[in-house]
Amino acid sequence: MEIEEEIREKVDGRTVKVMEQEVFELNNILPWKALEETVDELMGRMYPACSEKEYIGGRCDKGGDVFLYAAPNKKMPIIVQVKKRGGGVIDPDYIRVLVGTLKLRKVRYGIFITNTRFGPESYNEAEEATNVGYSITLMNGRELANEMVKYRFGVKSGYTPDVLVVDYNFYIKKSPDMLIYFKESVPNLLNKLD
């Protein structure tokens, strides 16, 4: 059995896939701003070579929610756009807007992250951007949850370092309304908070 399969096999009596499902569901409950801030922090872990990052977010986000800089001279190697939706697929027009932002800012790399999923048209738009010199990575909600578990973000060590549990404090700090959700849905919540 390969090491990655071993790690995924069991975590606290549950598979890592179950942990990823819990994180996926919690990300869908987070308000849009909290999800953008979560992605901002996660990008810092995923791209440690980018020594600086800037969170813009919101309606006036200059075409990107997170700008990752490789050096102090503010060259922008990566623009990240986050869209939170209640369900369904991301409209391919959003991918076109990201391509336009990349062209305008003379940046080659973009990442589009959503809590839901992309349809074939969105993947086609990202592929077409590649054909004209831009690289766009699409990360759906399940892939986002996978990366969060991989980088130990929104989860923490449980009884032993190799046992993972949901980090309830993480979600409550992102949005105090999450405490209401946890009180209703998580038995013995107070015992699980730091």
Nearest partner of 109 among 49, 31, 156, judged by Cα: 49
Q: Which CATH number applies to 3-192? A: 3.40.1350
| pLDDT band at 163; cut points 50, 70, 90 | confident
Q: What is the mean pLDDT of the chain?
A: 82
**Given this model, what pLDDT does residue 64 score?**
83
pLDDT in tens, 99-121: 999 998 888 999 999 999 999 99
pLDDT in tens, 25-83: 889 889 998 999 999 999 988 988 777 777 787 666 667 888 888 766 666 688 999 99
Domain boundaries, the chain: 3-192
pTM for the structure as a whole: 0.83
Q: Could you tell me if 189 and 43 are in contact, meaning their C-beta atoms sit under 8 angstroms apart? A: no
